[in-house]
Amino acid sequence: MKNKILVSFIVNAIALYLVSLIVPGISFDNTLSILVASLIFGIVNSVIRPFFMFLSLPLIFLTLGLFMFIINGLMLKIVSLLVPGFHVYSFWDAVFASLLLSVISVVLKGVLFGKNR
């Protein structure tokens, strides 16, 4: 359990860093803000995201799951408000970043751990 949380934290931190290189509307002031943002993002996804997912179930079904990227973008925007040094300049930057974050996280977990996840 602890290893899974640690791996998730590390993968999220790397993915957030890579997303900040790709999306011009996402930036970090320093390495510490990447780590703190990754930690807070994990907490926000565990605590707040399920509530938003539940409230948005009809929209998630109607859009065949695409609305989840809107929710994830909202979670990134919330994290940017909570973490000094982590900047998300617009909501649509956050939505695009959430799409990239999902793809990069899956690829990183696949490359690093293969079938042994």
For position 97, what pLDDT does the model report? 95
Closest-CA residue to 12 (of 59, 76, 57, 64): 76
Compute CA distances 66 → 43, 50, 72, 95, 99, whole Å. Answer: 22, 16, 10, 11, 10
**Measured between alpha carbons, how far is 45 from 108 in angstroms, rounded to an integer?**
19
Contact 16, 32 (CB under 8 A): no
Asked if residue 32 lies in contact with residue 85, where contact means CB atoms within 8 angstroms, the answer is yes
Residue 59 to residue 61: CA distance in whole angstroms: 5
Q: What is the pTM of this model?
A: 0.86
Does pLDDT of 3 surpass 60? yes
Number of domains present in the structure of the chain:
1
User: Which is more confidently placed, 58 or 117?
Assistant: 58
Q: Is the pLDDT of residue 114 over 80?
A: no
pLDDT for the residue 116: 59
Structural domain for 11, as ranges: 2-113
Q: 11-49, pLDDT tens digit by residue?
A: 899 999 999 999 999 999 999 999 999 999 989 988 999
